Structure 1
Amino acid sequence: MKRIAGILIIGVWLLSGCSYTFAHEDGYRMAVINEGFPVPNNAYEVKPEDCTTEIAKSAKYKMNNIGDEEGTPPPEYLKEIEKWGWTEMLDERVGNVHYFKKNGKIMSLIIQRDVFDVFEMSDEVKL
């Protein structure tokens, strides 16, 4: 019985390891904090950062190969965000922190190698 359980655990681990890698073809879904902001379908949600006076809502996702060493997001992901109606605020970008605006809302996207954060900025923040 222990052997079967061990094999099942290893099998699930191997399958999940393969499914959490960025691939534009896998599509996109709504972020848990904002229904109008896309995240890759196969991104795995983990415990988000705490909110502050500047951040109204936050979500953290784990996904292999989402960004490079400098935190550059895949170009396909940026195009998808634009397709969903968000405009990048290029003048406000700081390193790997990207800001997007739509209908008066500001979202922040912070990409790292295998993890990314999505923040809905509070209405008090004016960029």
Structure 2
Amino acid sequence: MKKILTVIFFSSILLVACTNSPPQMEGYMESEVIADFPIPEEAVTNDSSSNNPNLIYVGYDYEKVSATEGIPQDYQDAITEWGWTENEAERMGAFRVFEKGTRSVGFSFHEGWFALHEDTED
């Protein structure tokens, strides 16, 4: 009986640990700046910045995004797979907002690069 309880206990810990980590999708990794948000592995951090001290901000060079074509479907699928949903009411031109729980991440896309930002104020 003690062995069964021990197995159940450690199985529960393993299940919780696996549930809280982002999904492992080939070709995507977690942003080093915006936690739990997927970034294409071929995207490279660029030197774009924000003067707003209330934002966590990061830019990425990624040739598959553009202001006219938007976010590639496979990247949109990865964002959804990682548990983020688009707030379509916030959509404006080349700007999207993705939400997960109480978090909100702005996604602006340009010719060959994109930027993510998250508000640090509560």
Q: Under a length normalisation based on structure 2, what TM-score does the superposition of the two structures give?
A: 0.71
Per-residue CA distance 1:9-57 (angstroms, 9 max, x = gap): xxxxxxxxxxxxxxxx96111112122100100111111322426x520
Aligned equivalents of 2:26 and 2:102: distance in 1?
29
Runs of 4+ in 1 over 6 A off after TM superposition: none
Match of 2:46 in 1: 46
1:71 Cα deviation (Å)?
5.0
AA aligned to 1:59 is V
Match of 1:101 in 2: 99
Using the aligned pairs only, state the percent identity.
22
Q: Is the 8 A contact 1:99 1:109 kept in 2?
A: yes
Match of 2:72 in 1: 74
RMSD of equivalent CA atoms: 2.0
Match of 1:57 in 2: 56
1:114 Cα deviation (Å)?
0.5
Aligned equivalents of 2:66 and 2:86: distance in 1?
19
Which segments of 5 or more consecutive residues in structure 1 lack a partner in the other structure? 1-24
Per-residue CA distance 1:56-111 (angstroms, 9 max, x = gap): 201111122x2234151101111110100001001110101000111211001111
Tell me the secondary structure at the aligned position of residue 60 of structure 2. strand
AA aligned to 1:106 is S
Q: Which has the larger radius of gyration?
A: 2
Residues 1-127 of structure 1: pairs in structure 2 closer than 5 A: 27-52=27-52, 55-64=54-63, 66-70=64-68, 72-124=70-122
